Structure formats: C-alpha cells, structure tokens
Amino acid sequence: MSLSDKQQQSNLIFPEGLAESLIEAINVWVNVCDTELNIRVWNQAAESISGYAAADVIGHRKVWEWLYPDEDYLREVLAMTEVVLTKDGNLHDFETQILSRDKQVKVITWYSRPLVDPDNTIRGFVTFGYDSTERKLEQQALRKAHNELHVLYEIASIANAVTDLNEILECSLERILPVMKSARGAIHLWNTDNEALEVATAIGIDIRLFSQLDAIMDVFVKDTPVNVIVSAALSKRFRYLGVPMRTKAQGCGVISILANADTTFSSDDVALLSSIAAHIGIAVENIRLNRQSQQLAVAEARRRLARDLHDSVTQSLYSLPLFAEAGQRLLRSGEIDRVENILETLNKTALDALKEMRMLLYELRPLAFQPGKLVETLQERLDAVERRSGLRAHLITTSLPHLPPRVEENLYHIALEALNNALKHALATAVTVELHADAEHVQLRVSDNGTGFDCDQIKEFGGMGLPNMRERTEELNGCLDIQSSTKSGTVIRVKIPTNNF
C-alpha cells in the first residue's frame, strides 16, 4: 500500500506543504492518527525504529498495545492524547519508553499537534518521534558516574574527618547500599587475636545469616571479589557480591552486598565496590597506625616520667633523710649553728621536690583544654601549679578576638613549655603570662625572674622544650623570640599574624 493509497483511506486534511515524499524521506518517526487513535500514516522511520511495517499498523490502533504492553503505562500514554485532541493542544518533549518488535526498550521523544479541517474541526493529530535511546543511555551513564564519584568522595571525606572506626564503617555502608541498589549489606573486619572475620556493621539483615555464608571467607582468603548466588535462611536465595578490603600489609576485611536472586551486578559494580573497599582499607590502616602511635606516645611519656622522677624527685627525696641524719649528728655534738644551715637545705630540697611532683602530676593529669577558654585554662594552670609551688604568678590579658581552636591550643602548649622551664630549670620565684591582640597580631609573652640560660648554647644543643615551641609557632606562621642570659631571667615572645585565620 502506497502512501497516497493510505492517505486516500482517511478524510484528514494535512497541513499545506506536507508532501508525502518528505514524510517518507525524513529520518524522523512520523505517524498520523484519527480521533480514535487508528493509524492513518506510518513512515519508513517509524517502521525502522519500532520494527512494525506500515502494512501491520495502518487502519487500526493495535500498535499501541504492542508498543506499550504494560496496561497501566499504556493508559498514561493514551491519556496524553486527550491534550492533543483539543484545539491547540500541542505536546512538546513528551518522552516514553516503547518495546520494539525485536523486544528492545527504546526511549522516544514526541512532538504532537492536532490536524484541523477547514471547518475548524479536529480530525486527528500528527506526531513526530525522535529516537533518544542513545542520548538517554549517555545521560544515565554520566549520572551513574557522577553518583559513584560522589560516593567515593563522601567516603574519602568521612575517612579523613572521622577518627572512630565504627562510625566510618557505618557511614560508609549507608552510602554504599543506595549506589549498589540494595538494602542489605555488611562489613566484616579481620580480628587478628581470634583469627576470625567479625561483623563490624550491618544494615537490613540479621548478622547471624552471615555465619551461613561461606562466600565471605572465600573473598577474604582468596583476596578476590565473589559474585554468586547463595542460599541461606530457610533456603532463601540471594545474589551475593563481596570484595576484599586490604591494608598495606594484609587483608583487613570484606564488604558484602546482598540482593534479590534475580539481581545482576555488573563488572562496573564490582570495580566501584573494590574502589570503595580500597578507600576504607586506607582508613582502617590509618586508624590502626594512629592507635599504635598513641600507644607508643603513652609508653614514651611513661619512660620520660620515670626518667624525670629518677633525675629530680627521686634524687631530692633520697637526699632528705641524709640531711636529717646530718642534722641529728650535729645536734648530738652540740653544733647548733650548723644545724640551721642543714635545716635550710633540707627545707629547700623538700620544696623543690614538691614543685617537681606538682608539675609531674599536672603532666599526668593536665587540665582538659577547651576551645574558647584559653585565658581560663591558663589561669587554672597558674593556680594549680605555680602558685601552689610558692611562685608569684600573674596573668595579664586584654580583650581577645575569637581565635580558631588550633591557634588557642598551640598558644596554650607554648605557654606550658615556658612555664615548665621556669619551674624546673630557672629556679624562678615569679612568672608572668601576658596575652594581647591588635588588628594584625596575637601576642603571647611569658617572663620569669629565674637564673636564665645561654641562648646560643640552647640553640646549638636544643632542649628545654624550645624545639616544640618553635614547631608550634611555625605551624601558625608566627615568630618566636627568646631573650635570656644567665642570672637575668627569661622572656619568651610569640607573635601570630591574624591574617592566617
């Protein structure tokens, strides 16, 4: 049946200039329907895209059932024709999914307008369709890639910002499941003490189920992804995807995803989950290294405390009974004038030991630094240590602007180093801490009236906490100035530019 024959079967009036040669030639789906949705025109592009020939569809409306086999979806599509079958009811960019004759799902973008006869009566409508399947697939692929990158970025951000391993694993699993289109999953960690995989976190499933899944141990032992159908829980079948997590040295766990048995996980899904597992493995490694570092720091602090106790307090305490025995001997021999000197030395030694003990106790249980309370915390330190040790301690401040927590904490620790030096080494009787700020700088000044030291010698050999003060000052892009000489006291100044915060 030629196009002219098809048109003769219809009483429709076509827009002027719509030549049949153009309809057949253009690479755009063109069909014309009457008001009952029977097909009157069906061009070659429509045949090519749908797979249905003109001879199959002309004269009836069955093609709509073929293209839209889902009844509910078909009703939604046909309802849109009511818009076209009203005057000036044009459709633009109306998108549907059709099922072609060879069972391919295709995305078609439609443009429709009514056909009106000279009496201004709507006799049907003409529709132009564009095959948007490739463009839609590209958009979906781009959106999928964007979502996957977003998940990787979120997990990396969580791993960098959070120090609690359980929180990292829970937050990561919450973000993994949506992108894997699943509601069930778990993360196992390898317990080196028990030599077993243990559930660290799980969502949407009883963790006892995992004891029935040999596939999880296969993932860990073979150190390779597993994508299989598994049976568990009253013989219910699941699609299981598991990927190993590794640290630098060894495997550290498994990420598991469970889905319905008819679900398929593509190679892209496996690659994405493997990338996520690599990020989480790095986080696990960093947290474990941080814990080891903290344990080493505690051990080092204990060794330093034992050394300080031996070098200072223990020696002082050991000398006290010796001075007491010497005083007793002098009393028995009647050398009263020399007893007074012995008692003075005994008193001084006991006071020095008390100072050392107070400072060591403070180091064991320091005041918890609270952001926003730098002045208060420094005052508490002076009250708890310096003043109770008999020093005249003063804190002088002016109104300070809001300081970032890292600035406050570094200034606090610099002040502590200076105060410890004044108490331990300088034999000071007075110490003053000053905090001031102007539009350009925040300044810390710690001064004492102690014995002082040779700055050149200290710079050459280090010690007395000065390297720590320099590092903290440099971290804030500030300047550290130390003025001291033997028997003239010490002044430590720190100047921090405010343009850094």
Q: What is the mean pLDDT of residues 146-152?
A: 77
Under 8 Å between Cβ of 6 and 40: yes
Please give the share of the chain, as a percent, with pLDDT higher than 70: 83
Q: How confident is the model at residue 140 (pLDDT cuts 50, 70, 90)?
A: confident
Homologous superfamily of 3-131:
PAS domain (3.30.450.20)
Secondary structure element (H or E) that encloses residue 482, with its range? strand 479-484
Backbone angles phi, psi at 195, to 5 degrees: 50, 55
Two structure tokens written together for 383? 């009250």
From CA 364, how far away is CA 398, in angstroms rounded? 31
From CA 494, how far away is CA 205, in angstroms rounded? 57
Three-state DSSP class for residue 357: helix
Q: Report the CATH number of the 368-500 domain.
A: 3.30.565.10
The predicted structure's pLDDT at residue 400: 85
Secondary structure element (H or E) that encloses residue 32, with its range? strand 29-34
From CA 340, how far away is CA 327, in angstroms rounded? 8
Whether residue 436 is predicted with pLDDT greater than 90 in this model: the reply is yes
Two structure tokens written together for 10? 């219809």
Whether residue 58 is predicted with pLDDT greater than 70 in this model: the reply is yes
Q: What is the pLDDT of residues 462-500, one digit of tens each?
A: 455 788 899 999 989 999 999 988 777 899 999 999 886
CB atoms within 10 A of CB 422: 26
Q: What residues does each domain of the chain span?
A: 3-131, 138-292, 368-500
Secondary structure element (H or E) that encloses residue 406, with its range? helix 405-424
Whether residue 144 is predicted with pLDDT greater than 70 in this model: the reply is yes
Q: Could you tell me which CATH class the domain 138-292 is placed in?
A: alpha beta
Name the average pLDDT for the chain: 82
Burial label for 321, CB within 10 Å (0-12, 13-18, 19+), is exposed
Residue 209 is given by DSSP the state: G
The predicted structure's pLDDT at residue 462: 47
From CA 464, how far away is CA 476, in angstroms rounded? 21
Whether residue 363 is predicted with pLDDT greater than 70 in this model: the reply is no
- Fold: same for 3-131 and 138-292: yes
Strand partners, 232: 236
